[in-house]
Amino acid sequence: MIFKWRTRNWGFAKNRIRCTLAKKLFTFLSILLCLGVAFAAQDGKRNGRVDPPRQQIKSKWVKAQNFGKAPVKAKAKAKAKSPALAPTRPSFGDIAGLRSSPDALALKSSVAFVIDQDTKEVLLHKNELAVLPIASITKLMTGILISEARLPMDELIAISQHDVDMEKGSRSRLTVGTMLSRGELLHLALMSSENRAAHALGRTYPGGMGNFVSLMNAKAAELGMAATSFVEPTGLSSKNQSSAKDLATLVSYAYADPTLREYSTSPGHQVEVGRRTLQFNNTNRLVKNPDWDIGLQKTGYISEAGQCLVMQAKVAGRKIIMVFLDSAGKLSRIGDAERVRRWVESAPMVNSRVSPVAALDVPGKLVRQ
């Protein structure tokens, strides 16, 4: 009996020893795990971040997978992540040094020309004879020809592969095969500066694209726009060029057409494309501004031309034509228009021979009366 009792006690003792050893081993392993996490966290802090344990394991796995591969340079990664840091292409005006030209209103545009539409009085001029790319201001001439041709505006026109921009690679929501009326294409070209719409209008003009471009240049000559030339109807080509003085003539002429006035100043327009309804908006935010009474407008941009804007607007009771070319920033052309409006409003016309220009005398830049 005594032997059996001792044997049973020895079994219990062995089990207790095993449990104790297991607990100590578990405690030891836990301490090791905590130390490992602590060291990993410290290592992460040295590298500027603290990764969770799972992320550290994943990072080590990725490192193991990439072992032996050539490392990617940090500079190359930075360039890939931030393409906006790449130097922008200089405009023609910037290359010519026009952006350094001073003016009394501190305009951001290299070229500016402001006149009274009724009296033809020049209120402000800055490099107005410089011949520069005009980007989508071109579409005003496109609109003039389409409107004056009296072509059926309800005729359906299909967007084709020929209308896709292969020069600048600009995008469009008018996919190849889209069917829209000529009137809708004209509306989108003038309001939203839709390039495929403008190209389709020229392509389907009687006589084809070549005849259309010839008529664009013939119309410019007829209007006395001697410094103006066109090679296509969208403005994507930097070879479409003009001067601010010529463009003021173009704006004044286009203003006489009610269709061009309506389409260019429309805040937005919806078109049905298949089963979808697409919303297009005006590229000029000023048309929605209650402080402005705009009769006709057009914006434009390509890198060679910079930001461009032409407008006819009523300011302080006067019909004013404004032309801004090669503005340095996306909102600078809008800012310049606001500066000119405030300036004209600050010194309203007393009679036909008095102008606010006399109050801002910068030789060679503003006109004295």
What are the tens digits of pLDDT across the range 55-85? 444 454 444 445 444 444 444 444 444 444 4
Pick the catalytic residue from 91, 136, 327, 332: 136
Residues 270-300: pLDDT tens digits? 999 888 999 999 999 999 999 999 999 999 9
Q: How confident is residue 339, by pLDDT bands cut at 50, 70 and 90?
A: very high
pLDDT value for 122: 97
Residues 12-70: pLDDT tens digits? 556 667 767 777 777 777 776 766 656 555 555 444 444 444 444 445 444 444 544 44
What number of other Cβ atoms are within 10 A of residue 317's Cβ? 9
How far, in Å, CA of 114 to CA of 104, rounded?
A: 13
Pick the catalytic residue from 108, 126, 139, 219: 139
Q: 341-359 burial by CB neighbour count: b if 16+ within 10 A, else e?
A: bebbeeeebeeeeebbbee
Pick the catalytic residue from 91, 110, 193, 355: 193
296 near 251, Cβ under 8 Å? Answer: yes
Average model confidence (pLDDT) across the chain: 83
Domain ranges of the chain: 99-359
346 tagged catalytic? no
193 tagged catalytic? yes
Helix or strand holding residue 270 (H, E): strand 268-273
How far, in Å, CA of 337 to CA of 331, rounded?
A: 10
pLDDT value for 50: 42
User: In CATH terms, is domain 99-359 a member of 3.40.50.620?
Assistant: no
pLDDT value for 358: 31
- pTM, to two decimals: 0.74
pLDDT at 368 over 50: no
73 phi/psi in degrees, rounded to 5: -70, 140
